[in-house]
Amino acid sequence: MSKRDRNREKYAVRRPEPRQDNLSFIFIIAVGLLLAVGIGIMIGMTIEGVRDRTAAPPTNQTGSDPAAQIAAFQAQVAKNPNDAQALYDLADALNTQALKTQGDFTTAIGYYERALALRPNDLNIMTDLGTAYWYSGDPDKGLDTYAKVLKIDPKFPNAIFNKGVVLLEGKKDKAGAAQAFQLYLQLYPNGDGAAKAKELLQQTK
């Protein structure tokens, strides 16, 4: 209890004790109030449950159908062309589709570039754009993009790992790839790509 509360208690006016014949009446009122509060809580929980069940799903929760995902993100971009996250999500979905179908990455690259223009320091968008350049057959442009990422953050894991992949597979530069994979393993020995980095490092020998 604070000093202020103690002072309040010290100087509080003492109320007279209730008469015995009023206790039953007070008890009835108290029970009634408790019942009213309980019913109110139950009604509130019921309304909240209905609200939860009818709430809109998360933005990216469009199921596992790639076509449905792409359509949903396209609708978001059409509604707000300057929504950087929607542009990024659409680029990712199109990039994944092109990988599966060995299709054209040009459209995905365009959306990555638009998203990056709105969020120029987003290293995830920048790294994914570099990877899309590599997938489209332009390893040099991919490496240039990774270099921009690593200039901002020399320890950015995806850029380091992907740089190693492009150097190994796109440029046949085993020495450069080995340096990238060694750096990745040094910084992230238990990272998501550690096992693959070790495997690819063996291919540089």
Q: What is the rounded average pLDDT of the residues 179-189?
A: 97
pLDDT for the residue 65: 81
Place of tokens 């680029």: 91
**pLDDT over 50 (residue 44):** no
Whether 193 has a pLDDT exceeding 50, the answer reads: yes
Quote the CA–CA distance of 171 and 143 in Å, as a whole number.
10
Give how far Cα 60 sits from Cα of 22, 54, 85, Å: 62, 17, 10
Task: State pTM to two decimals.
Answer: 0.68
- Compute the distance between CA of residue 166 and CA of residue 159 in angstroms, rounded to an integer: 10
- What crossing angle do the helices spanning 194-203 and 174-187 adopt, rounded to 10°? 150
Return d(Cα 153, Cα 160) in angstroms, integer. Answer: 10
Residue 133 has pLDDT above 80, yes or no: yes
In the DSSP assignment, the letter for residue 191 is: S
Over residues 52-93, the pLDDT tens digits come to: 222 222 233 345 688 899 999 999 999 999 999 999 999 999
Question: Sign of torsion, CA 117 141 158 154?
Answer: negative
Per-residue pLDDT of 167-181, as tens digits, reads 999 999 999 999 999
Share of the chain above pLDDT 90, in %: 63
pLDDT band at residue 110, thresholds of 50, 70 and 90?
very high
pLDDT of 185 strictly over 80 = yes
Range 5-31 average pLDDT: 39
